[in-house]
């Protein structure tokens, strides 16, 4: 294939991402967008994207940690973009009044079909456009009271990592930007591509919970646990279909149930039964994404006993029914 034809093919499949920046930009959140969409991973099966950083305050923006960014693109880049990222709302306060030209450009972009995504305090300029009125949104918990007071017509979700739909998305602080980006990649290109990017970034492709929970010790895999409990956890992961009890696991560990429960909590940060439930949900997610097995079969294989029990626990942990999760994230061709 000639270089010219290769370039044309890339242009046909590229996704255009504009990162709209204000003075005192947030570097981590900006870097998340660049890492997810700005690296050419076509050799890994990831569709090609292009990222452009833009601003109407540039071309030179000052970063609070003591250096400048020089941007190549201005506000007109929003006319080019398929997805527009607002990595933060400007410093030192996210409650500043925003340039009407920026607000008009965002509204125009949305009206023509662009997707608009905010990270952290980037919810403030997005909300200032009026596009979130009557919808739900989130932001960093530090800004939650300010955001609620400033935008009473928006339903604020304080306990989630991200919200969204209908081409408008908001995320909580800092690392929640990664969660939201991978969610959008899943929506656009499926679980396989999202998992590929997540592995390359060395992050989980899906993180349960919300910003109000701040999981101090994420539920670990057996390989993350040292000592005499590892063999027991590895056995459990291979026997999720069984009716597992603390007494049985304690016997396998040669401990009393009380000692086993105490040691288990110290090693994993959770109870044995909660750990088992988490592993069963993870196994069900994998089966839903990668197999054509029925919900009943998955429930039996993963140890839930019935489809109703699987739906109950899966929905509580993941925030989606098994059927909806499969419809959204499966990469298995229809049988």
Q: DSSP letter string over 79-123?
A: GT-SEEEE----SS-TTSPPPHHHHHHHHHHHHTT-EEEE-GGGH
The whole-number pLDDT of residue 206 equals 66
Q: What is the pLDDT of residue 243?
A: 92
Verdict on whether the full-model pTM lies above 0.85: no
Q: Tell me, what's the pLDDT at 93? A: 61
Domains 11-201 and 222-329 share a fold: no
* pLDDT for the residue numbered 216: 29
How high is the pLDDT of residue 310? 95
What are the pLDDT tens digits along the chain (335 aa)?
444 444 444 444 579 999 999 988 889 999 999 999 999 999 999 999 999 999 998 799 988 888 989 999 999 999 999 999 999 987 646 667 899 999 999 999 999 999 999 999 999 999 999 999 999 999 998 898 899 999 999 999 887 889 998 999 999 988 899 999 999 998 899 888 888 998 888 887 766 554 433 222 345 555 656 667 888 888 998 999 999 999 999 999 899 999 999 988 888 878 999 899 989 988 998 898 888 999 999 999 999 999 999 999 988 877 778 888 887 666 555 44
Q: Where are the domains of the chain?
A: 11-201, 222-329
Specify which residues 231 forms β-bridges with: none
CATH number assigned to the domain covering 222-329: 1.10.10.60
Write the CATH number of the domain with boundaries 11-201: 3.40.50.880
The DSSP output letter for 219 is P
The structure tokens 């396998």 sit at 252
Which pLDDT does position 224 carry in this prediction? 58
Q: How far apart are CA 89 and CA 99, in angstroms?
A: 12
In sequence order, what DSSP letters do the residues of 247-273 get, joined into one string? HHHHHHTTS-HHHHHHHHHHHHSS-HH
Distance CA 291, CA 314 (A): 17
How many CB atoms within 10 Å of residue 268?
Answer: 22
Residue 91 confidence (pLDDT):
64
Taking residue 119's Cβ as centre, other Cβ atoms within 10 Å add up to: 33
């Amino acid at each position: 294939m000639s270089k010219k034809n290769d370039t044309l093919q890339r242009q046909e499949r590229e996704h255009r991402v504009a990162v709209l920046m204000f003075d005192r930009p947030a570097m981590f959140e900006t870097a998340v967008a660049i890492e997810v969409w700005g690296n050419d991973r076509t050799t890994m099966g990831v569709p090609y994207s292009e990222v452009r950083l833009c601003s109407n305050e540039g071309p030179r923006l000052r970063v609070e940690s003591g250096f400048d960014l020089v941007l190549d693109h201005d506000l007109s880049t929003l006319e080019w973009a398929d997805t527009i990222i607002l990595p933060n709302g400007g410093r030192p306060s996210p409650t500043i009044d925003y340039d009407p030209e920026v607000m008009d450009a965002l509204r125009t972009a949305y009206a023509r079909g662009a997707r608009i995504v905010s990270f952290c305090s980037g919810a403030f300029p997005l909300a200032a456009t009026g596009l979130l009125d009557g919808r739900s949104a989130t932001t960093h918990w530090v800004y939650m009271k300010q955001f609620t007071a400033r935008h009473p017509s928006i339903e604020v979700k304080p306990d989630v990592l991200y919200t969204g739909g209908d081409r408008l998305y908001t995320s909580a602080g800092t690392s929640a930007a990664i969660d939201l980006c991978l969610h959008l990649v899943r929506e656009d290109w499926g679980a396989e591509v999202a998992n590929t990017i997540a592995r390359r970034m060395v992050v989980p492709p899906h993180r349960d919970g919300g910003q109000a929970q701040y999981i101090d010790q994420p539920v670990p895999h057996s390989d993350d646990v040292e000592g005499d409990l590892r063999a027991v956890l590895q056995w459990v992961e291979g026997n999720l279909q069984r009716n597992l009890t603390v007494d049985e696991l304690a016997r396998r560990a040669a401990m009393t149930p009380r000692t086993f429960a105490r040691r288990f909590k110290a090693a994993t940060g959770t109870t044995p039964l909660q750990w088992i439930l988490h592993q069963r949900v993870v196994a069900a997610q994998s089966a839903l994404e990668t197999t054509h097995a029925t919900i009943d079969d998955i429930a039996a294989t993963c140890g839930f006993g019935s489809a109703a029990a699987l739906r109950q626990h899966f929905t509580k942990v993941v925030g989606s029914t098994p059927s909806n999760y499969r419809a959204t994230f499966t990469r298995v061709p229809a049988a």
